[in-house]
Amino acid sequence: MSTTLLRRHLLSAILLTTPPTVIADQMSATVPLDLTTHAAPWQRYSAWKQTKWNNYCNLQRGVTNPVSFIQPVEPPIKGDPVKGKKLMANRKKGNCAACHILPDVSLPGNVGLNISTVGSWRLPEELLFNYVYDARIYNPTTVMPPFGSNEILSKSEIMDVVSYLKTLTKPVKFDNSEDDPSKRPSPTETRDNLDEFENPGMFAVTVGEELYTQVGPKGKSCQDCHDEPEKAFSNWAVHMPKVEPRLNKVLGIEEFVTRHARATTGAEYLAQTEENLGFAVYLRYLANGQPISINTSGMNTRIALRRGEELINRKIGQLNLACTDCHAISSDKWIRGQYLNKVVGMMDHFPTYRTSRSEIWDIRKRFQWCNVSVRANELPPEAPEYGDIELYLMVKNNGQTLSVPGIRH
């Protein structure tokens, strides 16, 4: 057999035995790269807290406030313990019960120490004061916000807090296991998320299905190019997001829908609109039951993953918290009545219907909510930083079975 013929046989064998690589449809070359895919200028959702935290870093501004130095304190501290107790329960101020067990508090958290007897520990007042002022002085990796140096509490308010802490000498006794965060059972989702009677989010599947066959301003519909969506997209979603080199960013399904639809059908599906969410849910719904499978072999993907890893470890906001502070260091614990999940198992049900909000959230809106919760300015939904984080988390969830739309509180 000639060398040329042998090569042909070998090539044929390789093509027949090697499974095809699933690659997302390329974004049309006719799409302008400077295309805005969300409402611009970006404005925070009207129902959310509108405070701006411009003095503190976010995922685009990586400069953190420096660790403070020990504040001199003249003992004995003579604050008002009654005011201190109120400050520790105030969600806009101390909100200490979110992480610590304290007297007269329902559903305390257990991210931090049980400090219900801290007054009997005989700690120096200067230590107590400065630990509240900026715990990073003593523990550089702490998840405790720097209440004083980040101007959450004034020095006089911290004195009130310390005065209250000194009165705490008796351990809290819980009436039942639900109240005790160390015994409180972790929440288990038992609702059938794909049952339209159980999950109102299933209406988005219908929205997406209708949009798929809808003729756009250019006289075309998605069905004109992808005649059988059940086959064309049977596993497409589990391979997303992907790096788009021309944009130098990670493209999620939601942004892909916006850009691809505008270029091909002329339809306008901006991020966070009902149409965009409906389409994104529908495309994932078609891949339900398939394992998440993000290919990490490309150099651009590996670079984006490194960026994503840095971002989830970045301390941001007035509360000085990183994604990993809640979902790695403090995972499987409670912040008040909210359970902190691990990263694995976090992505397979997004977009998800939130019963507490009566609306569907995609993962980017969840990122925005977390940013605002730690008092950091959120980014537009299609920000490159969110794309890097989404890619990183999806890779961590490789092998998890897709089941969209989800349903959560």
Indicate whether 21 pLDDT > 70: no
Indicate whether 25 pLDDT > 70: no
Indicate whether 240 pLDDT > 90: yes
Is 81-165 the same fold as 38-65+196-409? yes
400 contacts 348 by C-beta, under 8 angstroms? yes
Indicate whether 26 pLDDT > 60: no
Query: Mean pLDDT over residues 313-334, rounded?
Result: 97
C-alpha distance from residue 212 to each of 65, 195, 215, 297, 389 (Å):
48, 22, 8, 32, 29
* Helix ranges (DSSP H) in 265-362: 274-285, 299-312, 323-324
Indicate whether 19 pLDDT > 70: no
Question: CA-to-CA distance for 286 and 282, rounded, in angstroms?
Answer: 6
Q: What integer pLDDT is reported at residue 118 of this predicted model?
A: 98
Q: What integer pLDDT is reported at residue 37 of this predicted model?
A: 87
Q: How many CA atoms lie within 13 A of 180 on its CB side?
A: 9
Indicate whether 147 pLDDT > 80: yes
Q: What integer pLDDT is reported at residue 11 of this predicted model?
A: 43
Question: pLDDT digits over 83-135, tens only?
Answer: 999 999 999 998 999 999 999 998 999 999 999 999 999 999 999 999 999 99
Question: pLDDT digits over 52-81, tens only?
Answer: 999 999 999 877 789 999 999 999 999 999
Q: In which residue are the tokens 């537009």 written?
A: 380
Say what percent of the chain tops pLDDT 90: 86
Q: What integer pLDDT is reported at residue 31 of this predicted model?
A: 65
Neighbours of 403 (CB within 10 A): 18
Domain 38-65+196-409: assigned CATH number: 1.10.760.10
Indicate whether 6 pLDDT > 90: no
Fill in the amino acid letter for 227. D
The alpha carbon torsion through 304, 321, 255, 43 (nearest 10 deg) reads -140
SS3 of residue 305 by DSSP = helix
Q: Residue 32: which pLDDT band, with cuts at 50, 70 and 90?
A: low
pLDDT: which is higher, 28 or 125: 125
pTM for the whole structure: 0.91
Domain 81-165 CATH superfamily: Cytochrome c-like domain (1.10.760.10)
Q: What integer pLDDT is reported at residue 404 of this predicted model?
A: 98
Q: Residue 14: which pLDDT band, with cuts at 50, 70 and 90?
A: very low
Q: What integer pLDDT is reported at residue 27 of this predicted model?
A: 60
Q: What integer pLDDT is reported at residue 384 of this predicted model?
A: 97
Indicate whether 28 pLDDT > 80: no
Indicate whether 193 pLDDT > 90: yes
Indicate whether 311 pLDDT > 70: yes
Phi-psi sector, 107: left (phi>0), alpha (psi -120 to 50), beta = left
CA-atom Rg of the chain in angstroms: 26
Q: What integer pLDDT is reported at residue 62 of this predicted model?
A: 79
Mean pLDDT of the chain: 92
Kindly list the domain boundaries of the chain, sorted by start residue: 38-65+196-409, 81-165
Indicate whether 15 pLDDT > 90: no
Indicate whether 8 pLDDT > 90: no
Question: pLDDT digits over 217-229, tens only?
Answer: 999 999 999 999 9
Question: CA-to-CA distance for 211 and 317, rounded, in angstroms?
Answer: 39
